[in-house]
């Protein structure tokens, strides 16, 4: 009798082993995923059984009951996170559960470019098909306060230029919050390490001036020089006389060329009319522009003029500036066939 019990135990043990091996093989057998992958969405509140049934209906998962049981027995059925997932060729039922529990959802990029205005940022966000909840234009004025900044502050210039990745359905506010936090942190760090005796009283003033430097040149080596010119002019109480501030102040009325009438138009941003800094930034400055403003070149330059090739000629006196303007205007006329 004992011998029969031993044999029965052996048979049952073998059967259990075979069953375990079979289950393991099933869990490690790749799902039926197309060569180019498969997008799947897990809705909020979906159970492991819901996921299994949906994948079974699409022909992706062959044994949905076993997968749901595996998820439950492993104690992770309630840890599945909502979102959009990409299944690649070779994904197994076991690795599928790991993916859903880890919440490794599909990430979509959006890039904020140096020199963009807030209007351009919002146009980019509004056109992105993967953004979910959108901000109403009526709420733009209070946006910075929602992000933790002072009430009534303009959102212009406050979003760090970078590429940000987000899950499908993310809100505009969540993307902007990351960009704002990044800019706030970088500005705070640079302000703490700034050069001594700058004519800038607050980090916000540095942000404003950096936005002007950003729009004045795209040449990296010139940023400290142009920042140095503006710092020198601020120290002397001279007007900044920056064309990009005039253009910003003109808004939609700017048609591509600045006229003498534009230079005299009294907008808050016209630095030919008003001394000091404009009331807000005019764009998002690059990290390099912020660094240049807080570590400007030590120079006696007070003027600069565009050469027409993307770079500038710098002058110490108004007489030098007049000669440079005449020279490069003549070059431009000749280049244009004049």
Q: What would the pLDDT profile of 233-281 be if each residue is shown by its tens digit?
A: 999 999 999 999 999 999 989 988 888 899 999 999 999 999 999 999 9
The residue whose two tokens read 């209070």 is 142
Average pLDDT over residues 86-106: 94
Q: Residues 108-141: pLDDT tens digits?
A: 999 999 999 999 999 999 999 999 999 999 999 9
> Fold for domain 32-105?
Dna Ligase; domain 1 (3.30.1490)
In angstroms, how far is CA 172 from the centroid of its own chain? 11
Helix, strand, coil in percent for the chain, rounding step 5: 50, 10, 40
Could you give the residue ranges of the DSSP H alpha helices within the chain? 2-28, 48-57, 64-73, 93-102, 118-127, 143-146, 172-192, 203-216, 223-236, 243-250, 260-264, 287-294, 318-335
SS3 84: strand
- Which of 156, 151, 206, 148 has its CA nearest to residue 178? 148
H/E segment holding residue 312: strand 312-315
The model's pLDDT over 309-324, given as tens digits with 9 standing for 90+, comes to 889 999 999 999 999 9
- Structural tokens at position 299: 């120079």
338 has pLDDT over 50: no
Mean pLDDT for all residues in the chain:
90
Please write the tens of the pLDDT for every residue from 280-302: 999 999 999 999 999 999 999 99
pLDDT at 9: 45
In the predicted structure, residue 220 carries a pLDDT above the cut 50 = yes
Q: What CA–CA distances, in Å, run from 149 to 145, 161, 183, 201, 303?
A: 5, 18, 12, 18, 35
Residue 330 is predicted with a pLDDT of 61
Decide: 302 and 311 in contact? Cβ < 8 Å.
Answer: no
The DSSP output letter for 58 is: T
pLDDT at 21: 40
pLDDT reported for residue 11:
37
Banded pLDDT at 27 (limits 50, 70, 90): confident
Domain ranges of the chain: 32-105, 107-187, 197-335
């Amino acid at each position: 009798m004992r011998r029969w019990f031993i044999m029965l135990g052996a048979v049952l043990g073998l059967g259990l082993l075979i069953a375990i091996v079979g289950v393991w093989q099933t869990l490690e057998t790749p799902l039926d995923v197309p060569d180019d992958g498969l997008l799947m969405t897990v809705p909020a509140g979906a159970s492991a059984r819901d996921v299994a049934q949906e994948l079974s209906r699409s022909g992706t998962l062959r044994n949905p009951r076993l997968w749901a049981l595996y998820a439950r027995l492993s104690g992770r059925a309630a840890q599945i996170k909502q979102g959009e997932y990409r299944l690649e060729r070779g994904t197994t039922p076991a690795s599928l559960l790991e993916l859903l529990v880890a919440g490794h959802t599909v990430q979509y990029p959006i890039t904020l470019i140096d020199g963009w205005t807030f209007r351009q940022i919002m146009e980019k966000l509004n056109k992105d098909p993967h953004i979910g909840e959108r901000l109403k234009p009526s709420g733009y004025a209070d946006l910075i306060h929602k992000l933790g900044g002072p009430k009534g502050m303009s959102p212009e210039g406050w979003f760090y230029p970078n590429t940000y990745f987000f899950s499908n359905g993310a809100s505009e506010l969540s993307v902007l919050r990351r960009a704002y936090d990044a800019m706030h942190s970088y500005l705070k760090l640079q302000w703490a390490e700034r050069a001594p005796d700058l004519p800038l009283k607050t980090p916000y003033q540095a942000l404003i001036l950096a936005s002007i430097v950003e729009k004045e040149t795209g040449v990296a080596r010139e940023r400290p020089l142009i920042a140095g010119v503006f710092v020198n002019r601020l120290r002397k109480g001279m007007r900044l006389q920056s064309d990009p501030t005039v253009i910003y102040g003109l808004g939609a009325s700017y048609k591509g060329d600045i006229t003498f009438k534009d230079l005299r138009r009294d907008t808050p941003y016209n630095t030919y009319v008003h001394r000091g800094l404009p009331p807000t930034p005019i764009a998002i400055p690059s990290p390099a522009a912020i660094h240049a403003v807080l570590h400007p070149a030590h120079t006696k330059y007070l003027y600069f003029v565009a050469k027409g090739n993307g770079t500038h000629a710098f002058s110490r006196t108004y007489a030098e500036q007049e000669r440079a303007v005449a020279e490069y205007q003549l070059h431009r006329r000749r280049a244009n066939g004049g």
